[in-house]
Amino acid sequence: MIRAIASTRFRTFALVFAITAAVLYVVCDFAALPMFTYHPGTGRIDPGFAPARRDEGPAMYWYGWIATSALGASLTGFAAAILPERITAKIPLSLAWLAPIALLPFLIYSLKFYWRWS
Amino acid sequence: MDFVLDYVSLTTLWSMLSITHALLAVALIGALTHQAVAVLAPVRQGGTTGFIRRFRSVCGPGYTSAVCLLWILTVFLGGWIYAKYRIYVRIPIEQQGFLKTEGAFELKEHLTAIGLGLLPIYWYLWNNSGESRYDSARKWLTVVMAAICWYAFLIGHVLNNVRGFGS
């Protein structure tokens, strides 16, 4: 019984985590919301979004986007897991694989700088 | 990691990491492709034997933990190399005008990060492979992850050809 409940709660957590992690990642990309910014030229880490510093090379946000979306998805997943099963059972499992496909055009659009003839 | 540099040059070290990243990706793509083909075209009783049939007839659940571990390790190693790529690879290829190659690579980074978030539900669905109500979600999630893996692998290979080993 306990094992079954734990399994159901984990399923809810995992499903909500998958959907929200994907959505939050795209939101973080569009809204410039990294948890931190890494400057690979100097090894400096700034909290939140920080532009590239003059003469210190580029700034990287990818690690910060993953951290933000993982944290947000974990919190959302845990919150969903404590909801009653009659509610969580209504979340379609298909959203786990549909979400990345639906978000693909947004990701491609976010890289529009690269899709041009130089 | 500095002690390693007593034995190999910095360029050799990054090349070794890049090759290890590629080998992990090869193992991942093999496991995921087996699983994806097994759920898309499952083997039925009877029929002929041969390479294709054997390729399809793998025990899907047996690959689950390996796929999760390989995905995490590949992304971790790729993320480590990514910092060097940002300075020593991306800037030169941008200057050479390979914008679409660079864009395709950035898309790969986005997709593999999203794939990381799919691992818990992927793991759950495959560890409950006896539940027929999960069949559809398990099948299409595996196919999506295999597609991400193939895209990432091919783009990584293209980028390595543009400016990878030893550069």
Q: Kindly determine whether residue B143 and residue A97, on different chains, have CB atoms separated by under 8 Å.
A: yes
* pLDDT attached to residue B146: 97
The residue among B99, B100, B110 with the most chain A CBs within 10 A of its CB, best to mutate, is: B110
Chain B positions in Cβ-Cβ contact with residue A109 (cut-off 8 Å): none
In terms of residue numbers, what domain contains B56? 2-163
| Nearest Cα residue to B25 out of B142, B117, B156 | B156
Chain B positions in Cβ-Cβ contact with residue A8 (cut-off 8 Å): none
Domain count along chain B? 1
Among candidates A17, A58, A107 on the partner chain, residue whose Cβ is nearest the Cβ of B86: A58
Tell me, what's the ipTM?
Answer: 0.92
Digit-coded pLDDT (tens) for B13-42: 888 999 999 999 999 999 999 999 999 988
The residue among A30, A61, A88, A93 with the most chain B CBs within 10 A of its CB, best to mutate, is: A93
Chain A positions in Cβ-Cβ contact with residue B100 (cut-off 8 Å): 114-115
Chain B positions in Cβ-Cβ contact with residue A113 (cut-off 8 Å): 99, 103
Name the 3-class secondary structure at A47: strand
Which stretches of chain A are DSSP H helices?
2-31, 62-81, 85-88, 95-110
Q: Tell me which amino acid residue A35 is.
A: M
* pLDDT attached to residue A118: 56
B53 to chain A, minimum CA–CA distance in Å?
Answer: 27
| Nearest Cα residue to A22 out of B120, B27, B32, B127 | B120
Q: Kindly determine whether residue A94 and residue B137, on different chains, have CB atoms separated by under 8 Å.
A: yes
Give the CB-side neighbour count of residue B131, counting CA atoms within 13 A: 12
Residue range A80-97: mean pLDDT, rounded: 94
* Contact call for residues B73 and B24 (beta carbons, < 8 A): yes
| Nearest Cα residue to A96 out of B60, B82, B99, B117 | B117
In terms of residue numbers, what domain contains A66? 2-114
Chain A positions in Cβ-Cβ contact with residue B125 (cut-off 8 Å): 93
Chain B positions in Cβ-Cβ contact with residue A103 (cut-off 8 Å): 114
Digit-coded pLDDT (tens) for B49-77: 788 888 888 888 899 999 999 999 999 99
Lowest mean pLDDT among A102-116, B14-28, B85-99: B85-99
Is the pLDDT at B164 greater than 80? The verdict is: no
* pLDDT attached to residue B71: 97
Domain count along chain A? 1
Residue of A nearest to B94 (CA): A114
The dihedral formed by the CA atoms of A66, A68, A73 and A74, expressed in degrees to the nearest 10: 100
The C-alpha atoms of residue B39 and residue B138 are separated, in whole angstroms, by 8
Residue A38 sits at φ, ψ, to 5 deg, of -110, 130
Q: Is A103 on the interface with B (CB under 8 A)?
A: yes
Residue range A5-24: mean pLDDT, rounded: 93
Name the 3-class secondary structure at A36: strand
